Amino acid sequence: MRVYLTHGFLFLLTFFSSTLAGVIWLNKDPLELSNFYLGLPFSLSILAILATHEFGHYFAARYYRVEVTLPYFIPFPPFPLVESIPFLFNPFGTMGAIIRMRSPLRSKKELFDIGIAGPLAGLVVTLGILIYGFVTLPPVDYLFSIHPEYLTHPPAPEGGFAFGTSIIFYSLSQLFNHHAFIPPMTEIYHYPLLCAGWFGLFVTALNLIPVGQLDGGHIMYALVGPTMQVRIAWTFFILLVISGLLGLLPLLVPGANWGSIGWLVWAAILYFIIKLRHPVVSDDVPLSPNRRMLGWFTFVLFILIFPPVPFYD
């Protein structure tokens, strides 16, 4: 019973913190109780994405009779804990969710199916939220209601905080470009469904990096085995470090946006916490052709949803 209370308590905290984040994205006071409902479209969308992802893993694990926990949602205050330390800031109100498997996996087939179920399930919901968000975009007056100053002083075409884009996000924005006003990436976070959808793509992309015990690491290990998985993991780790170092270029070349310092942080997490090498699964039976095809298709999706520079400022 205590375990279920823990899951429920963390879920409620995450609901609360992500709803406050949704209020903040709309430039409203999160401490004003009457504004709380304004954050619900954002928080409910994010929780739907995270829950679908984790329950994809959960039900796949239960199918193979693997002992697994319910999802642990991870809340995070959507405002700086310490003003001078930017790493203690998460504007989405959550660090995601995780499940824990309590029994070993017996085969690559189990590893593959459990690993791939989460990102594919979460991606379906994410794309649904994004498409619905683009279809139901309000007119430009909505943006003026948040930024009335734009009526007299339009924002500069570039500059300021912005989300980076991915191939899929950009393609969807272009697909609906003739049907509605499409906000620029410097304003996309004011639109709850687009912001939540962007977050869903980003989180799924992070999980699909083929490293260690990330979902992508599980899938890649099942596809190519331990030796090649380590080589691929090191390749992606080095690319992340290079991208992180390129993120330092604006200090030398103002206006250069060729990388993101945040990738250095993520690379450190992968190396020291998640680890690059996937644990050995004592099974040499290769995956079926259909699973191999699905696995490689998933990494094509990874390329399509991955934002090389997640944030600009």
- pLDDT tops 70 at residue 131: yes
Total-model pTM: 0.94
Contact 126, 201 (CB under 8 A): yes
- pLDDT tops 80 at residue 293: yes
pLDDT at 84: 45
- Average pLDDT over all residues of the chain: 92
DSSP structural state of residue 308: S
Q: Give the model confidence (pLDDT) of 162-209 as tens digits.
A: 999 999 999 999 998 876 789 999 999 999 999 999 999 999 999 999
pLDDT at 70: 96
- pLDDT tops 70 at residue 159: no
Among the ranges given (76-85, 134-143, 267-276), the one the predictor scored with the smallest mean pLDDT = 76-85
Contact 128, 120 (CB under 8 A): no
Q: Tell me if residue 81 falls in helix, strand or coil.
A: coil
* Gap between the Cα atoms of 174 and 128, Å rounded: 16
- pLDDT tops 50 at residue 82: no
Q: Tell me if residue 312 falls in helix, strand or coil.
A: strand
What is the distance between the terminal CA atoms of the chain, rounded to a whole angstrom?
Answer: 46
Which candidate, 70, 48, 63, places its Cα nearest to that of 112?
63
pLDDT at 90: 79
Q: Tell me if residue 195 falls in helix, strand or coil.
A: helix
- Report the pLDDT averaged over residues 24-45: 95
Q: Give the model confidence (pLDDT) of 86-126 as tens digits.
A: 444 678 999 999 999 999 899 999 999 999 999 999 999 99
Q: Please state whether 99 falls in left (phi above 0), alpha (psi between -120 and 50) or beta.
A: beta
The amino acid at residue 267 is: A
Which residue's structure tokens are 């804990």? 81
Contact 192, 42 (CB under 8 A): yes
Give the pLDDT band (50/70/90) at residue 157: low
- pLDDT tops 80 at residue 79: no
**Domain chopping of the chain, boundaries:** 2-312
CA angle 214–311–153, rounded 5-degree value: 155
Helix (H) or strand (E) holding 133: helix 108-135
- pLDDT tops 90 at residue 254: no
Alpha helices in 185-278 (DSSP H): 192-207, 215-246, 262-269
Burial class, 232, CB count within 10 angstroms (exposed 0-12 / middle 13-18 / buried 19+): buried
